[in-house]
Amino acid sequence: MPPGIQVACDVGAVRIGLARSDPMGLLAVPLPAVPAGDAAIAAVLETVGEWAATAVYVGLPLRLAGDEGPAAAAARSWARKLAERTSVPVRLVDERLSTVQAQRGLHAAGRTTRSSRSVIDSAAAVAVLQAVLDQLAGTGGPVGELVASTDEGTAR
């Protein structure tokens, strides 16, 4: 049975990059990024509803050594706020080097760093989601860490 449409978010200080999968869970495609801030969660929830997504994956920007810094703490906090407002599972996934991978892909397509600023966040979300989809296809099991909302206190 196909996993349904999955959504991924690349949380940045300026923009939240978004991507979604096809219904078969094979291919990640970019969606327009949304400005970071309070309205970003509402925009993601709208995307989840519009596409009837079955899960949301939020990139967790771990350091190269695997530990968490301020960016990871911010992503965790944002994911928790999102989880509080939806019944769809929200999962954190390692996104180390996703932006680097996205920038390389855009550069290979002929885009400069300057011309790719508006799409880099969604390209990074595509990289995160494609890694999740590939892992789901290989294992069939859950990917990432389930986020519990602060209201629930436990994972759904």
Provide the β-strand partners of residue 103.
none
| Torsion from C-alpha of 61, 62, 64, 65, nearest 10 degrees | 180
Strands 6-11 and 15-21: antiparallel
Give me the helices (H) in the chain, please.
38-51, 70-84, 98-108, 120-139
Vertex 140: Cα angle to 10 and 3 (nearest 5): 65
User: Measured between alpha carbons, how far is 112 from 87 in angstroms, rounded to an integer?
Assistant: 39
Per-residue confidence at 60, pLDDT binned at 50, 70, 90? very high
pLDDT digits (tens, 9 = 90+) for 2-47: 578 999 999 988 999 999 999 999 999 999 999 998 789 999 999 9
Token pair of 25, please?
């869970």
Phi/psi at 80 (5° precision): -65, -45
Residue tagged 């970071």 (tokens)? 36
pLDDT digits (tens, 9 = 90+) for 119-130: 668 888 999 999
CATH number of 6-139: 3.30.420.140
Average pLDDT over residues 49-77: 90
pTM more than 0.75: yes
**Residue 18 contacts residue 125 (beta carbons within 8 Å):** yes
- Of 26 and 153, the structure prediction assigns the larger pLDDT to 26
